[in-house]
Amino acid sequence: MRTTLTHMAALAMFAALSIAIFGVPLIARGFSSVRLGVWNAGDPQIYMWGFAWYPHAITHSLDPLERGAV
């Protein structure tokens, strides 16, 4: 029982920290005007490619780590 309470307390602390870091800017500025993970020198297209590539590779029985282009 004590271990469960310790785990729940840790989960609550991590959730509160995550909300403080990510949730407050989203809520304060509105969900439509803030993008997380975009830096001035960043490349957000690689994330968009990854979100499309991995499901495509898995559904077509391809190796998701081998992109096939040289």
The DSSP letter of residue 60 is T
Report the alpha-carbon distance of residue 11 to residue 27 in Å, rounded.
22
pLDDT 10s digits, 52-65: 888 888 898 888 78
pLDDT 10s digits, 17-40: 998 988 887 787 776 766 666 666
Q: What is the pLDDT of residue 29?
A: 75
Report the alpha-carbon distance of residue 58 to residue 63 in Å, rounded.
7
- Residue 4: half-sphere exposure toward Cβ, Cα within 13 Å: 1
- Tell me the average pLDDT across 34-51: 70
Q: Determine the distance from the C-alpha atom of residue 23 to the mean position of all C-alpha atoms in its chain, rounded to a whole number.
A: 13
